[in-house]
Amino acid sequence: MTTRSVIITDKASGKSVECQVYEGQYGAPVIDLKNIYKELGMFTFDLGYASTAACRSAITYLDGEEGVLMYRGYPIEQLAEKSTFLEVAYLLINGELPNQQQSGDWSHVIKMHGMTHEHLSRFYQGYRYDAHPMSVLAGVVSAVASYYHNTTDIYNPEHRRLTAQRVIAKMPSLVSKIYRYGSGLPFVYPDNSRDYVENFMYMMFAWPTEPFRANPTAVRALDLLFILHADHEQNASTSTVRLCGSAETNPFACVAAGISTLWGKAHGGANEAVIDMLTEIGEPKNIRKFIDRAKDKNDNFKLMGFGHRVYKNYDPRAKIIRQACHDLLNEMNVNQPLFEIAMELERIALEDEYFISRKLYPNVDFYSGLIYQALNIPTNMFTPMFALARSAGWIAQWMEMLSDTNDFRIGRPRQLYVGAAKRDYVPMASRP
């Protein structure tokens, strides 16, 4: 909604441009700069797009200063306490929580799309047994696109809905097969008598010769992690999915692009880095030494899991997951030395002026890896777990972008060119 305008003036030329200002439901007002090049012959310069709104979205809102995160208007705290991941996925896709009939239909259709083409099972064999799971996941999800390249009309709302169902349904099978292949275990097909998260754990951990029964506490802990990771506004991987989708790319290829971005240590790979850091610390008595290293400008060591690009307050997801970590370890009677190190590290850091003044609070990655580890999920599978959950948000964002028919266009950022001026070609014999 337009509420006012601002005028930008180039003092050198005296030219001005009037820019409309839009107010969202929450958050800072946004200046519409689409006419700035036309009127002033200039572009804006915004490293990392930290001050740029690249889209309109009604899916997720976060307030980094206040530590607020909402999906479709519902606070993450309420969804974490009362909902399930599959229900949250429905909310992200459809905009509303399902009623009883819709919930049953949604669960049924996700189960019906849980299988993958049998030929795809051979795809995994092309990778080394010790390949990083995110490398395999990006490849296999992109390969799924080959099964739907002639049957998906991205401009057909029903096809987009079907695509969303396929993505959410198939990701557990794709991810679990990566773990099974790397472990030398046979693949396990979905069991439609089980709920979404329990079924995933069954495909991950079932032993061919034994019945499998998941621990309810473990199921709930993993379900909670999936809820917390389901979406997070216009982060690097979500922006990648949108940018890829703006070129009218196959949606599974868009998700694969998001997976590749999520793989980065500064994004989804941070939970792996936290476990590596806690392992390096070794014992609580060593924490002070590592905190001093983090504060030393001449030392490259960083405390992983602290601070966030957006949150300048305590990450609301970290508060929820911290308690879940306590509950899981207590109820399952798991001996987790790294959790004790994490607790003490958090306590010391939050009392240190260095971290307080810089608003470096624990983020969701600080504790999520500890839960994955308690569930016997290998460290290199942490980020694929993140990708499984985030795929619901990615495909919801993709759907929203394509449904905005008035403003849909290919993404094309500009640049500030600082290279060489125009010059003539010099034959090799004449070059210095």
Q: Mind telling me the catalytic residues?
A: 308, 365
Helix 382-403 with 85-94: angle, nearest 10 deg = 20
Q: How far is CA 104 from CA 79, 168, 370, 392, in A?
A: 18, 16, 33, 18
Tell me how far apart the alpha carbons of residues 383 and 273 are, in angstroms, rounded to a whole number.
11
What 8-state DSSP symbol labels residue 418?
-
Supply the Cα-derived Rg of the chain in whole angstroms: 24
Strand partners, 2: 22
Contact yes or no for 342/278 (Cβ under 8 A): yes
Cβ neighbour number for residue 167 with a 10 Å cutoff: 25
Q: How far is CA 305 from CA 51, 234, 390, in A?
A: 24, 20, 19
Tokens of 172: 């557990």
Instruction: Give me the phi and psi of 143, to 5 degrees please.
Output: -65, -30
DSSP, collapsed to helix, strand or coil, labels residue 329 as helix
Contact yes or no for 391/174 (Cβ under 8 A): no
What 8-state DSSP symbol labels residue 362?
B
Tell me how far apart the alpha carbons of residues 219 and 216 are, in angstroms, rounded to a whole number.
5
Tell me how far apart the alpha carbons of residues 378 and 373 are, in angstroms, rounded to a whole number.
7
Alpha helical stretches, state H, 26-96? 36-40, 76-82, 85-94
CA-closest candidate to residue 60, choices 371, 317, 243: 317
Strand intervals (E) in 121-216: none
Tell me how far apart the alpha carbons of residues 201 and 193 are, in angstroms, rounded to a whole number.
13
Tell me how far apart the alpha carbons of residues 202 and 216 are, in angstroms, rounded to a whole number.
12
Tell me how far apart the alpha carbons of residues 136 and 240 are, in angstroms, rounded to a whole number.
19
